Structure 1
Amino acid sequence: MYTGPSSGDNRFAPIDLSAAYNRIIAKLDTQDGSDRLVANKHLLLTGNHELWGLPFVFGPNDGNANIIVLKEGPVTINFPQPLHDRQLVFVHAADFKVNSAAEDGIIRPMPGTPRLGETVCEYKLHYDDNTTATFPIRRRYQISEFQVKWGENSFEAVKHIKPRTMQANSDIPRGISPSIPWGQSQLRTTFQGFGAVMHHWLYALNNPHPEKNLVGLTMQPIDGTALIFGITRSDLSSNPFNWEPRKKVRYQSESEKPALNPYGDNPNIRIDLGEVISVSPALHYNHATWLDNANPSLPHPARNEWIIEYTAHPEARLILEDGPVRAIELHELEALPEFESLEPATRRVTLRIVDLKSGSTVAAKLHVHGESGEYIAPINGHRLPNPHWFEDYGAEHVQGHHFSAYVPGAAEFKLPLGDIYVEVTKGFETRPVRRRFTVTDTTDTIEIGLDRVLPWRQRGWVTADTHVHFLSPLTALLEGEAEDVNVINLLTSQWGEMFSNLGDFDGKTTIGSTENGGNGEYLVRVGTENRQHILGHISLLGYEGSMILPLCTGGPDESPLGDALEATVTQWARQCREQNGLAVLPHLPNPRAEGAAAIVLGEIDAVEMCSFENKGIDPYSLSDWYRYLNCGYHAPAVGGTDKMSQSTAVGTIRTYALIKDAPFTYEAWMKAVRQGVTFATYGPLLEFRINGYEMGSMIQLTDSGGMLDVVWEVSSVTVPVTRIELVCNGELKEVHAVDPKKGSYAGHWSVPVKQSCWIALRIRGMDAEHGEIIAAHSSAATIIVGGKKCFDANDAVTILEQIEGSTAYVKSLATKADDRTFKHLLMTLTSAHRALHNRMHQHGVMHLHTPADDHHREHPGHGHDHGGHSHRH
């Protein structure tokens, strides 16, 4: 095990104890120590070691290693040359001593384990002027036992293994097996003594007279047995185990090697009398374009530049191996051109975020960094937020190298003196703030004002994320308020043998509602995402009563091995709606299978555009959605993130739903979604009406059709808008190019219609990282001409094929449950197949059948071509 670098200097020197050894470790028996000690003697230290950066010599590592057992009488060591060192550093330990308990199990008096303050031995320093200095060596002060109860560590001695920085298991490169459990790795730091069974204690005895000639040492047993392994003399100015608070330096490496690595047994950067806490890339924010920019680029790591954070003794050395090995005194770093000390973050400052109109504090997403781009977390926030799946233990957001914290209106920071850079964001209707502030030694508070500049909430629009995982409900409430998302749907689900948020579901409580003690403006409701790896997923929102089970079925990816298929997406959706819930087809289109049947049977209330990779609304998702609209199915659009880690912010893509003529409640929100008065967005906000009707409406025209008056308004304070498009039956009908700098736009089109169709508004915008994206999309308004619903033959065939494929899976590969369940599954799929197939018959559509689903016998007399499984009606 790595315990410290080789010092290679004259600060320390081990003392030769060979003349004082009185036992051989391998031969220790119960005459020498306790049964417990003898049973663990093979774990005692032998050979040469570096402990906490100090060198020690413990004798040969060949089974004949010697030791001093201080038991029967004193042991004296005479130094060949007088010493003038400031400390003698001992590696020693006390043998076990058991407390006696009364018959009732109570120990009286209670000294603890080990026995607090009990003197084990005395160390006496001898000077050549015949004076001495005597030091009692007491349990839990200067010495302790080889094993101690948790919480009964020593006050002046340390365990022989120093605390180390470590990677979370998810950060370890592939191919390297983690050495500790996943949960413990989240600490990112070990503790002293980590990994050892038998603790050897290091104690720095302070020489009170370094100006005198120290010529000898006597060790006298008092009460119990002590074992002395080694002594090293040190001329440090203070205790070698007393480290200073963390500091940071910026380092410009000339090496082209991969990143500096402070982890494990072979680090290429380390500190002997201390520890490297973290090494992270120095970030370039390009403040000239970052400040006061509503949509700036993310920072990029500077080439071979690192922020090194460490804690150490002031006389420690930094050992670098990113080229030729260098050992650099910490106090000399500032003199080297490749190093720059960063101002320590010690000034305690409160950052307050206030609404400019009301003056009250408001929750928001807050980011602070220093001159070198180093992230500065709130005192109660993670300095290294974790971006990995299901490791979301804070209220934070990780976007590449850019970290932020969610705060409930105010947060406490320790800031460096000088310039800091602050970013505050709150959803899509409030202008983002990116400003520089100067912290002085009198700064106590920094106040940032937010201006809500877009009036969509005032007009009745409420925001929602339909798809969030793994947060606690109260964390979800905070993040929702900070991101200005009025409704967070937190979804219980299952991943193999793991379940999430099970205890948070009760089928009735809307957290944040006025009836549950909230302000009613930000709500969290726990629903479920029920999943099957082939047939599909379904988000069941806001339903009442018992949890709809099974959560997952049919085996991996979602449920455990050996699970039989017990439900379909359609059945889950139907049950949700029977329990007054909202059935949403998530992350359209995948898994792309039986969701088609649920839409055909009218069991889906909305389809979800998702935020995978944050690259805007995926054209592939839109292609799938347009098929259903082309065939006349009511499928409003919603936005959901499928948030599973801090790398996704709640509401990155969100739903806007219009609630008219009613107070905002969760039930009113569900009603608005069902009606389809919604749009999904990454930032731009929109309104549009057709002949005065809202999106989601069904507009009836006579057989001759007519002229549609399309009126629209678009605004954005986050993503710059580039184009506003009118989509009709999936095809581009009208385009309005805009100046992205303007921010707000309005217009109208006159659109002639002769046949049934659907129309929707599609917004393109410019994302700083990904270029132009589809940034927003409204739900569709349906135009019915002469009473005939939309129907596209080619799209209908593809939908039918999905249903047939789902049926084929159930019949062939799905693990079957009992016969009744199996038949029920097939009946659901068959009814969807028949419903769409009958519509195709009505429209005279030719299509191919798979052999498993050839249904020509259902329609005798329709003139089928039996040879090729195709027919025309």
Structure 2
Amino acid sequence: VDRGISTYAYPLSDRSEESYMDSPFKGWGEKQNQKNSASYVEISAASSATVTVKSHGDLLGQVNWGELEQKGQVSNDRVKAEIIDRGRNWVHTTVIDDDTGKPIPCRIHFRSVKGVPYAPHGYHSHVNSDMGTWHIDNGGDVRLGQSSYAYIDGTCQGWLPRGEVIVDVARGFEYEPLRVKMRVEPGQRNLELRIKRWCDMKADRYFSGDTHVHFLSTQGAHTEAQGEDLDVVNLLLSQWGHLFSNTEEFIGHPSVAHNGKSIVYATQENRQHVLGHLTLLGLKHPVDPWCSGGSNEAEHGGNLETTLSHWADACHDQGGTVILPHIPNPNCEPATLIATGRVDAVEYLTHAIYGHNEYYRYLNCGYKLPLVGGTDKMTSDVPVGLYRTYVYIPDNEEFNYDNWCKYLRAGNTFLSGGPIIRLTADGQPIGSTVDLPGNGGMVEIEASCDSIFPIHTLEIVKNGQVAASTEEGKGAKALQLKTKLHVDRHSWIIARCGGPRYVQPTLHNDGWRRGIIAHTSPIYIAVGEAWWMFDSETANYMLTLAEGGLSYIRKTARHYSSGSVTHHHGETDHQAFLERPFMEAIETIHKRMHELGISH
């Protein structure tokens, strides 16, 4: 614009209004339009101004601003320009919980019927202009593909277009999302919307949390958690080369919101680029160093100062909880951690089957490991709690952070990326052990899933293989499965649900394009004695990884010259300090093999 100013030109949705309104993913964004047509731009200019439109340097056309103001629409062979702002009102919006009649925290998106977003005042129509947001602009709003949402306390205000306006509202997985078209009349100053809870997991004593969040402030985490109906946020300090994040948030105890509706605990993810990553929940004191071994995680060129196992020990010494995040990557030390009993639970970040198979591998080798869900949120295109962990806390126990971690370790948990999934075996809940006589028997399995999103498959997996399933090709909001399985040896079962055949999930519109799935922790089935399982292939795999860890320490990792450094642990033999957990793992696995009479 030669005599005025303009914003960036942003692409509008390439879906029809009808398609957008009828989408089964109301409240959860839409796929980004990667094309440049149609686009909108905000312009303020003199009547004599010329608006020039180019694409990749190619001139598409020019429009006289005064003529466009007068006619409302001007076209040439390659460009049609139209003024679409026909007036606006400053509107106060309230979102009401239909059950309580009171304003409810949520996230909200407004747009005109043309698709132009109108963010509430103080929020962004396009988070960081639709560019990357790693470590920046991380709080108060979230972008899901084409749509940016504002996290509000149930009230907001700002400009809305006169005439028809589309409002998109969501609050986690337990509220029915709302996508509705309303009218804003001249002079109108108020707008009221209502959303309704369709299930109440807290009433069933399941409390949700995200095990893996970065960069938010504590208050920002409370705001986003309440907007997503999430009970717990684990806000993880970490190191990224010479960048240390969230140092100022660490207080060594939980932050409980003034209304008691959310808990944020600033704790740590400690990382080593070859050995692996480790999430340390509930730390009362920092576990230093946060990262080790150079590369992009610790100081550039830094030495290998410690291992994940020592971090896990330091966490447990404080009464903390150790999570193996995004199983299994990086995949050098996880086997050592699991073999030596240092892992309290493992985490899925995505629907990747590779992670599933690694988890099942360890279960088949007899390691009891609850499953949790986390987002690894580092950007504004990931809602906190998009993958979340539901933890069962008994009626006689208070919901607080310590109990949430305690019962997470106990194993009655499930991961949800949308669906609410349930599982029992002979009436016993997730995380329990069903005891059968020595000759085994039939076990009655019941599973169900309910969802605000369409789901296609509900499966029972036994010892890593699908043992029973039900499918709904067109997708459904609820699926049930009841079956009997014959069990004649120690086993485990889980329930999982998602897209067609489960391995082809429907995708969220977050930056990771995560699958819409849910997955329980195991129920264990013991036959004739205390539960155990062993798999020789997995044991040898674990030995290979542990030996690889020793090789990395001895041959590849960077070390300071002996005698030139006093290490944080105070031991004189740093090499022995680093190798000790791997030697413990190898010895432990060998001992199991010897006890079972297995050669190696």
User: Normalized against structure 2, the TM-score is what?
Assistant: 0.90
Please point out which of 121, 134, 137 is paired with 1:379.
Answer: 121
Q: CA deviation at 1:846?
A: 4.4
Residue 676 in 1 paired to residue 429 in 2? no
Q: How does 1:655-666 map to 2 (within 5 A)?
A: 655-661=389-395, 662-666=397-401
Aligned partner of 1:835 in structure 2 is: 588
In 2: Cα distance, 1:377 partner to 1:647 partner: 16
CA contact (8 A) 1:367 1:424 kept: yes
In 2: Cα distance, 1:733 partner to 1:426 partner: 34
In 1: Cα distance, 2:516 partner to 2:118 partner: 33
In 2: Cα distance, 1:489 partner to 1:325 partner: 50
Identity among equivalent positions (%) equals: 32
Q: CA deviation at 1:560?
A: 1.1
From the superposition, tell whether residues 693 and 727 of structure 1 become closer, same or farther in structure 2 (CA, over 3 Å): same
Aligned partner of 1:413 in structure 2 is: 158
In 1: Cα distance, 2:73 partner to 2:229 partner: 48
From the superposition, tell whether residues 640 and 520 of structure 1 become closer, same or farther in structure 2 (CA, over 3 Å): same
Please point out which of 463, 471, 474 is paired with 2:219.
Answer: 474
Residue 285 in 1 paired to residue 30 in 2? no
Give the residue type in structure 2 aligned to 1:304: S
In 2: Cα distance, 1:697 partner to 1:751 partner: 17
From the superposition, tell whether residues 320 and 298 of structure 1 become closer, same or farther in structure 2 (CA, over 3 Å): closer
Aligned partner of 1:87 in structure 2 is: none
Q: CA deviation at 1:439?
A: 1.2
Q: CA deviation at 1:740?
A: 5.6
Q: Secondary structure at the match of 2:517?
A: strand
Give the residue type in structure 2 aligned to 1:697: S
Give the residue type in structure 1 aligned to 2:145: G
CA deviations on 1:286-328 (whole Å, 9 max, x unpaired) are 2223325442653535663221212223432223345558553
CA contact (8 A) 1:760 1:778 kept: yes
CA contact (8 A) 1:810 1:826 kept: yes
CA deviations on 1:258-278 (whole Å, 9 max, x unpaired) are xxxxxxxxxxxxx12212211
In 2: Cα distance, 1:365 partner to 1:713 partner: 28
Please point out which of 259, 262, 279 is paired with 1:539.
Answer: 279
In 1: Cα distance, 2:49 partner to 2:467 partner: 71
CA contact (8 A) 2:14 2:38 kept: no
Please point out which of 266, 274, 293 is paired with 2:4.
Answer: 274
In 1: Cα distance, 2:135 partner to 2:421 partner: 34
In 2: Cα distance, 1:796 partner to 1:324 partner: 65
CA contact (8 A) 2:141 2:148 kept: yes
CA contact (8 A) 1:283 1:302 kept: no
Give the residue type in structure 2 aligned to 1:703: G
CA deviations on 1:158-185 (whole Å, 9 max, x unpaired) are xxxxxxxxxxxxxxxxxxxxxxxxxxxx
From the superposition, tell whether residues 361 and 739 of structure 1 become closer, same or farther in structure 2 (CA, over 3 Å): farther
Aligned partner of 2:556 in structure 1 is: 813
Please point out which of 783, 789, 793 is paired with 2:536.
Answer: 793
CA contact (8 A) 1:381 1:394 kept: no
Q: How does 1:299-698 map to 2 (within 5 A)?
A: 300=33, 304-322=37-55, 323=58, 327-333=62-68, 334-337=72-75, 338-343=80-85, 346-386=88-128, 387-512=132-257, 518-544=258-284, 546-611=285-350, 617-661=351-395, 662-698=397-433
CA deviations on 1:744-767 (whole Å, 9 max, x unpaired) are 333422111111111110112352
From the superposition, tell whether residues 398 and 444 of structure 1 become closer, same or farther in structure 2 (CA, over 3 Å): same
After TM superposition, the structure 1 stretch with the greater mean CA deviation from structure 2, 317-326 or 750-759, is 317-326
CA contact (8 A) 1:467 1:490 kept: yes
Where relative contact order (Cα < 8 A, 6+ residues apart) is larger, the structure is 2
In 1: Cα distance, 2:40 partner to 2:490 partner: 62
In 1: Cα distance, 2:38 partner to 2:476 partner: 38
Aligned partner of 2:521 in structure 1 is: 779
CA contact (8 A) 2:92 2:155 kept: yes
CA deviations on 1:30-87 (whole Å, 9 max, x unpaired) are xxxxxxxxxxxxxxxxxxxxxxxxxxxxxxxxxxxxxxxxxxxxxxxxxxxxxxxxxx
CA deviations on 1:480-520 (whole Å, 9 max, x unpaired) are 111111101000010000000001101123232xxxxx222
When the two chains are superposed, the root-mean-square deviation of aligned CA atoms in Å is: 2.1
From the superposition, tell whether residues 553 and 310 of structure 1 become closer, same or farther in structure 2 (CA, over 3 Å): same
Aligned partner of 1:68 in structure 2 is: none
How many residue pairs are counted as aligned between the two chains? Answer: 565
Aligned partner of 1:722 in structure 2 is: 456
Aligned partner of 2:568 in structure 1 is: none
In 1: Cα distance, 2:535 partner to 2:54 partner: 67
In 1: Cα distance, 2:155 partner to 2:328 partner: 40
From the superposition, tell whether residues 768 and 827 of structure 1 become closer, same or farther in structure 2 (CA, over 3 Å): closer
Q: How does 1:55-204 map to 2 (within 5 A)?
A: none
From the superposition, tell whether residues 598 and 563 of structure 1 become closer, same or farther in structure 2 (CA, over 3 Å): same
CA deviations on 1:108-149 (whole Å, 9 max, x unpaired) are xxxxxxxxxxxxxxxxxxxxxxxxxxxxxxxxxxxxxxxxxx
Aligned partner of 2:569 in structure 1 is: none
Residue 298 in 1 paired to residue 36 in 2? no
CA contact (8 A) 1:285 1:298 kept: no
In 2: Cα distance, 1:834 partner to 1:622 partner: 27
CA contact (8 A) 1:277 1:311 kept: no
Q: Secondary structure at the match of 1:463?
A: strand
Give the residue type in structure 1 aligned to 2:108: L
In 2: Cα distance, 1:768 partner to 1:789 partner: 36
In 2: Cα distance, 1:783 partner to 1:729 partner: 10
In 1: Cα distance, 2:343 partner to 2:277 partner: 12
CA deviations on 1:362-420 (whole Å, 9 max, x unpaired) are 11111111122122111101232024211134411122222111111111120111111
Aligned partner of 2:443 in structure 1 is: 708
From the superposition, tell whether residues 772 and 610 of structure 1 become closer, same or farther in structure 2 (CA, over 3 Å): closer
From the superposition, tell whether residues 292 and 409 of structure 1 become closer, same or farther in structure 2 (CA, over 3 Å): farther
In 1: Cα distance, 2:54 partner to 2:193 partner: 44
Q: Secondary structure at the match of 2:127?
A: coil
Q: CA deviation at 1:742?
A: 4.5
After TM superposition, the structure 1 stretch with the greater mean CA deviation from structure 2, 492-501 or 737-746, is 737-746
CA contact (8 A) 1:429 1:454 kept: yes
In 1: Cα distance, 2:271 partner to 2:202 partner: 33
From the superposition, tell whether residues 285 and 422 of structure 1 become closer, same or farther in structure 2 (CA, over 3 Å): farther
Give the residue type in structure 2 aligned to 1:576: C
Q: Which runs of 5+ in 2 are unaligned?
A: 500-504, 563-571
CA contact (8 A) 1:292 1:433 kept: no
Structure with higher Rg: it is 1
Q: Secondary structure at the match of 1:530?
A: strand
Aligned partner of 1:86 in structure 2 is: none
In 2: Cα distance, 1:486 partner to 1:791 partner: 37
Give the residue type in structure 1 aligned to 2:554: K
In 1: Cα distance, 2:91 partner to 2:35 partner: 29
Give the residue type in structure 2 aligned to 1:805: G
Q: CA deviation at 1:705?
A: 1.5
After TM superposition, the structure 1 stretch with the greater mean CA deviation from structure 2, 496-505 or 378-387, is 378-387
In 2: Cα distance, 1:411 partner to 1:774 partner: 30
In 1: Cα distance, 2:446 partner to 2:508 partner: 31
CA deviations on 1:714-735 (whole Å, 9 max, x unpaired) are 2111x21211111011011111
Q: Which runs of 5+ in 1 are unaligned?
A: 1-270, 513-517, 612-616, 848-873
From the superposition, tell whether residues 781 and 772 of structure 1 become closer, same or farther in structure 2 (CA, over 3 Å): same
Q: CA deviation at 1:466?
A: 0.3
Give the residue type in structure 1 aligned to 2:276: G
Q: Secondary structure at the match of 1:283?
A: coil
In 1: Cα distance, 2:245 partner to 2:506 partner: 33
